[in-house]
């Protein structure tokens, strides 16, 4: 199944440390976080975000990332 223009956001529990793509804060292992994934021209894009980031901000960030490709 292709993702097309859609961005999929899921909530996960971290198994390792990540950095939020928007606010650059540390997401430690064991904490919940959001992961957004999308695809453009066959290139898979995935970013990690704090659990407190709004979906509106995440979609805007992912749209900017896809435009920059």
Quick one: tokens of 12? 């996960």
Mean pLDDT of 1-20: 83
- Asked if residue 5 has pLDDT above 60, the reply is yes
> The pTM is what?
0.85
Q: Total structural domains in the chain?
A: 1
* H/E segment holding residue 38: strand 32-40
Considering the domain boundaries, does residue 34 fall inside one? yes
What's the pLDDT tens digit per position in 16-68?
999 999 999 999 999 999 999 999 888 999 999 999 999 999 999 999 999 99
What is the pLDDT at residue 4?
A: 58
The range of the structural domain enclosing residue 19 comes to 8-68
* 13 located within any domain: yes
pLDDT at 48: 97
Q: How far, rounded to the nearest angstrom, does the alpha carbon of residue 27 sit from its chain's CA centroid?
A: 13
């Amino acid at each position: 199944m292709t993702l097309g223009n859609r961005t999929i956001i899921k909530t996960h529990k971290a198994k390792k440390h990540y950095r939020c793509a928007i606010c650059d804060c540390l997401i430690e292992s064991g904490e919940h976080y959001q992961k957004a994934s999308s695809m453009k021209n066959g290139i898979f894009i995935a970013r990690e975000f704090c659990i407190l980031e709004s979906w509106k901000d995440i979609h805007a960030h992912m749209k900017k990332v896809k435009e920059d490709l």
